[in-house]
Amino acid sequence: MSDEPIDTKTRTDQERIVDARMRLRERFFARMASTPSMADDKPLGEGAPNRHGMPRLPQGQYETKKWPVLDLGRQPHVPLETWTLELKGACKRPQTLKWADFMALEQVSDTSDFHCVTTWSKFDMAWQGVRFSELAALADVDERVTHVMTYGYDGYTTNLPLVEALKPDVLLVHTANGAPLSVEHGGPLRMITPQLYAWKGAKWIKAIEFLLVDRKGFWEERGYSNTAYPWREDRYG
């Protein structure tokens, strides 16, 4: 356990977390509005607008009802008893959460679409978990943070701009379509980035690092796009 169980947190602690989250929200709202997914008035794709006003099927994608598995061929099994999530880098409250700590955070449900760069899209995935923004607030990220790196238990890494990570549909999820997330899909916990290609969401997430300068993750170093915006077919860099 990190020093105290979360339910004994004082009201002051909670207020500080909420305050930090509200400050972040204000600070990033204007910048979020200038990121492509909100500012793009000619997104590429087809179908009725999705929840974000983008064409439902991004250009070059096809819909699948199946849920394919993509990873580096190593699927780590991490028991909940030993599982931890580390929040580190440029933040005022670096910390390591145990499973009970994580589950005591505000839990949300959201339905979103999943777009893989290998051209399949799966619509209407029902997720449960914790918003990335909640974790950023908990860690009290430094004002100067521009990017984040996420790490998987399999050694995977992927980077993304903080403004993308703070979008309200970016979640760390433990439940998919009503069932605990299977190991092959990244259980016990993975990240999802519905408005970016799915490789930006680390399965078996182990750590989040707040960065003052951008750094490339596994696929980004190997020629994938750094920005990964589906409605511009922004697949490769």
Ligand X SMILES: Nc1nc2c(c(=O)[nH]1)N[C@H]1C(S)=C(S)[C@@H](COP(=O)(O)O)O[C@H]1N2
Sites of contact with Mo ion (CB under 5 A) = 70, 116-117, 199
Structure tokens at 140: 């009290």
Structure tokens at 78: 């991490």
User: Closest CB to Mo ion among 29 and 236?
Assistant: 236
By CB under 6 A, residue 214 contacts ligand X: no
Phi and psi based region of residue 12 (left: phi greater than 0; alpha: psi -120 to 50; beta: remaining): alpha
User: Closest CB to ligand X among 17 and 150?
Assistant: 150
Residue type, 189: L
Cα–Cα separations (whole angstroms), residue 45 to 117, 169, 192, 199, 229: 14, 20, 21, 20, 12
Cα–Cα separations (whole angstroms), residue 24 to 9, 19, 32, 206: 21, 9, 11, 23
Residue, CB closest to ligand X: 152
By CB under 6 A, residue 86 contacts ligand X: no
For the packed helices 132-139 and 11-33, what is the interaxial angle rounded to 10 degrees? 120
Of the candidate spans 64-72, 88-96, 98-106, 166-174, the one that interacts with ligand X by CB under 6 A turns out to be: 64-72
By CB under 6 A, residue 97 contacts ligand X: no
Q: How far is the CB of 182 from ligand X (least distance, A)?
A: 9
User: Closest CB to Mo ion among 199 and 229?
Assistant: 199
User: Closest CB to ligand X among 59 and 182?
Assistant: 182
Per-residue mark of binding to ligand X, 118-157 (x: CB under 6 A): ----------------------------------x-x-x-
Which of Mo ion, ligand X, none does residue 58 bind to, with CB < 5 to 8 Å depending on kind? none
Which of ligand X, Mo ion, none does residue 40 bind to, with CB < 5 to 8 Å depending on kind? none
What are φ and ψ of residue 8, in 5° steps?
-95, 5
| Rounded Cα distance, 111 and 128, in Å | 9
Look at the alpha carbons of 178, 203, 161, 48 in this order and tell me if their dihedral is positive or negative: negative
Q: Which residues bind ligand X (CB under 6 A)?
A: 67-72, 116, 152, 154, 156, 185-186, 198-199, 201-204
